[in-house]
Structure 1
């Protein structure tokens, strides 16, 4: 599992870097088109929005990999010791995993609903299933990370490099 998550993290980083560069160039092109040529690309704003949606969801997964999500660390200082902190960490991950499983399941239902209705985007006529798939895909990969994190924590290790 370690190797898979390592490779997935590498791939996800590269994908997010590429999508950020692509989105920046797309928006820059739109600005130049409007400013210099008094014309615009009808599809660029919509595509930029969809790329951004994927960036957000995949970025949440990557943020977990690097322990960069916002936490209320003051609670850990109120707990009586490291064992209580570990138990709280495990409870938080269990709740987060349950929520991600819910998001994966309901996101998959949403994608099926969109596909069955053949819902298309207004400007590009792109099937919205591709846009909404960001939710179940990213939630699934975050669930994998959470399962591995729970496995590691329950075996006595800690994945979090920060000492609380």
Structure 2
């Protein structure tokens, strides 16, 4: 099998993507640590729970949404639980599973952290793009996401698994 090396243009685009992704993630982590005392992963856990019905989600589904291992999620949820931001509950539909539930205190912390986080995302990314580029960025990453997940290319752009709502233990 012959290796399909990247063209010079593809190599520049790949390296630009990697550099930007690392810089954005580092900046988001710093901002959230300074302003909310939590890393970006913890904020993402709270945000994902806040977007679900009853602010609950089965742990395995949450790990899938966040694209992290269950052990990494368990560690993070244990920390958030100690801080009173999340609580773990037994899954009523499957006794083997557990559910992460956002507490009222967790929701309050998220609501306080969200404005600074959104402003940082805007300053890091969207303030540097034209409206047309924002549309292109969405189209590019929606296409990449679909390809990596094997989704139907004809599905709607919002038809992304981690945006679907389901029962907490389904």
Q: TM-score interval w.r.t. the shorter chain? A: under 0.3
Q: Which has the larger radius of gyration?
A: 1
| TM-score, scaled to structure 2 | 0.27
TM-score by length of 1: 0.28
More helix by share: 1
